[in-house]
Amino acid sequence: MQDKVWWWLVPVVVLCGVAAGFYFTHRGHESDETAAPPPPPLASSPEPPSIQHPVPAAISDTPLPDLDASDEPLLQALGNLAGNALVHELLVPTQLIRHIVAMVDNLPRKKVAPQALPVKPVAGAFIVKESGNTLTVSPQNAARYTTWITLAESVDTQQLVALYFHYYPLFQEAYRNLGYPNGYFNDRLVAAIDDALAAPEINGPIELVQPGVMYQYADPALEARSAGQKVLLRMGNENAAKLKRKLRDVREAISKPVNQTTR
């Protein structure tokens, strides 16, 4: 397993995480198939017949930059919310919106392309506990996510979502460029959050196997979970519960009915 953290932070989760909330990406212990790049999305993929979760029309007079010139102003805006030092420590500063969009699109799938992640690897190596011939996820791994969880809890949800809505036309542009000319990014973000919220809470040690270089979950049902759900499984129940609370707040804020919308 390759440990990658996704902060759906930034405009989604990240900002979106923004996970739209917030998602995390960690490197260190995902399976071979999670580490492999996913197949590119197809323009012919089924899309919802209509917008399910519209966003408010732009209300700011501040003009948006072009998508290719959006990294610096977005990082600056995120720095104002979470602190410049922390933002630059955790986020990959190039093609940020494109990477967030690709991450959000792939989190509900089994695979996420590591080269397209908007966040840097979580600190430290994935820790495995050995007892005889049994391998389990060490409880010590939870401490590796402290910085991310603290950041997710500290950022004001309404301010984060307001920033997401301001930059939304660029997220939508990047989503359509990804291969969804009729798609609506905010709908995909809500779907990704819903998938993450469905991650199970596992009581007791989580057993692993190592058929090759990478670890896998011994339980086929856990191994078959989406990439987003595996993120929450890896960080431990306490951290996952905190992140889910943030994701619920973000989901509520980005899915409220609006009178005016922008595509």
Position of tokens 């819903």? 194
pLDDT of 68 strictly over 90: yes
Give the pTM. 0.82
Q: What would the pLDDT profile of 211-244 be if each residue is shown by its tens digit?
A: 988 899 999 999 999 999 998 998 899 999 999 9
Q: Is residue 249 part of a domain?
A: yes
Question: Which whole number is the average pLDDT over 14-35?
Answer: 37
Cα–Cα distance, 66 to 82 (Å, whole number): 24
Distance CA 105, CA 19 (A): 11
**Residue 102 placed within a domain:** yes
Q: Which domain holds residue 19?
A: 4-124+141-199+227-254
Q: Considering the domain boundaries, does residue 207 fall inside one? A: no
Residues in the chain: 263
Strand boundaries in 107-202, DSSP class E: 128-131, 134-137
The domain total for the chain is 1
Better-scored residue on pLDDT, 188 or 57 = 188
Residue 209: inside a domain: no
DSSP assignment of 221-234, as one string? HHHTS-HHHHHHHH
Query: Is 41 domain-assigned?
Result: yes
Q: Comparing C-alpha atoms, which of 149, 133, 109 is closest to residue 26?
A: 149
- Domain presence at residue 132: no
Domain membership of residue 221 (yes or no) is no
The pLDDT assigned to 47 comes to 52
Q: Which residues contact 6 (CB under 8 A, 6 or more apart)?
A: 13, 17, 19, 23, 24, 25, 26, 103, 107, 112, 117, 118, 119, 228, 231
One-letter amino acid at 260 equals Q
